[in-house]
Structure 1
Amino acid sequence: MSEPALTVFFATRNRAHAIPRVLEAFTGLRSPEGGWKLVVTDNGSGDDTLAVLQGFAGRLPLTILSCPKPGKNRALNLALPELQGRLAVFTDDDVLPDADWLVRLLAAADEHPEADMFGGTVAPEWPRPKPDWLSEEVVEFSMLYSQQLRPSGPCGFADIFGPNMAIRADLFRAGTRFAEHVGPDGTNPLYAMGSETELLRRLEVAGHRGWFEASARLRHIIRPEQMEEGWILERAFRYGAGEGRNYVAGSLPKDILRRVVYRIAAQGMRLMPHSPRRLRIRYRDRWLAGAAAGRQAPQQGSAIPR
Structure 2
Amino acid sequence: MLNDEAGTLAASVVLPTYARPAKLSACLEGLARLKLDAPFEVVVVDDGSPEPVAPVVEAFSDRLTVRCLRQANAGPARARNHGAAAARGRWLAFTDDDCEPEPGWLLALVRALEAQPDALVGGATVNAVGDNIYADTAQDLVSFLYEHAKVKAADGEGFDFFTSNNMACAKASFTALGGFDETFPLAAGEDRDFGLRFKASGGPLLFEPKAVMRHHHDMSLSRFVRQQRNYGRGAFHLRARASEKGGGKVPFEGVRFYSGMLSYPFRHRSPKPLARAVLLGLSQAAMVAGFAQEAVQRRGGGGGVV
Distance 1:277 1:200 in 2: 27
Give deviations 1:155-180, integer Å, cap 9, x for gaps.
Answer: 4223x211110011112343622111
Question: For the Cα contact (< 8 Å) 1:16–1:47, is it kept in 2?
Answer: no
SS for the counterpart of 2:22 is: coil
Mark the CA change 1:285 to 1:168 in structure 2 (over 3 Å): closer, same or farther.
same
Q: Is 1:122 the equivalent of 2:114? A: no
Segment of structure 1 superposing worse, 279-288 or 73-82: 279-288
Partner letter of residue 283 of structure 1?
Answer: S
The unaligned stretches of length 5 or more in structure 1 are: 185-191, 254-273, 301-306
Specify the alignment match of 2:230 in structure 1.
Answer: 238
Question: For the Cα contact (< 8 Å) 2:127–2:136, is it kept in 1?
Answer: no
**Residue of 37, 57, 60 corresponding to 1:53:** 57
What displacement does 1:206 show? Answer: 2.0
Partner letter of residue 166 of structure 1?
Answer: A
Specify the alignment match of 1:205 in structure 2.
Answer: 200
What displacement does 1:8 show? Answer: 0.8
What displacement does 1:52 show? Answer: 0.9
Question: For the Cα contact (< 8 Å) 2:177–2:198, is it kept in 1?
Answer: no
Segment of structure 1 superposing worse, 96-105 or 49-58: 49-58
Partner letter of residue 244 of structure 1?
Answer: F
The unaligned stretches of length 5 or more in structure 2 are: 1-5, 244-248, 254-273
Mark the CA change 1:59 to 1:140 in structure 2 (over 3 Å): closer, same or farther.
closer
What displacement does 1:48 show? Answer: 5.1
Distance 2:250 2:107 in 1: 41
**Residue of 76, 84, 90 corresponding to 2:88:** 84
What displacement does 1:142 show? Answer: 3.4
Query: Number of residue pairs matched?
Result: 262
Mark the CA change 1:129 to 1:147 in structure 2 (over 3 Å): closer, same or farther.
farther
What displacement does 1:295 show? Answer: 3.7
TM-score (norm 1): 0.75
Mark the CA change 1:111 to 1:155 in structure 2 (over 3 Å): closer, same or farther.
farther
Distance 2:46 2:25 in 1: 14
Distance 1:275 1:85 in 2: 44
Question: For the Cα contact (< 8 Å) 2:12–2:88, is it kept in 1?
Answer: yes
Question: For the Cα contact (< 8 Å) 2:49–2:73, is it kept in 1?
Answer: no
Specify the alignment match of 1:267 in structure 2.
Answer: none
Distance 1:134 1:175 in 2: 32
Q: Is 1:14 the equivalent of 2:19? A: yes
What does residue range 139-158 of structure 1 map to in structure 2 within 5 Å? Answer: 141-143=140-142, 155-158=158-161
Question: For the Cα contact (< 8 Å) 2:77–2:185, is it kept in 1?
Answer: yes
Looking at secondary structure, tell me which structure has more helix per residue.
Answer: 2
Give deviations 1:244-302, integer Å, cap 9, x for gaps.
Answer: 1112667359xxxxxxxxxxxxxxxxxxxx955764554333221111223453676xx
SS for the counterpart of 1:89 is: strand
Distance 2:213 2:251 in 1: 32
Please give the root-mean-square deviation of Cα atoms over the aligned residues, in Å: 3.1
TM-score (norm 2): 0.75
Report percent identity of matched pairs.
23
SS for the counterpart of 1:3 is: strand
Distance 2:250 2:207 in 1: 29
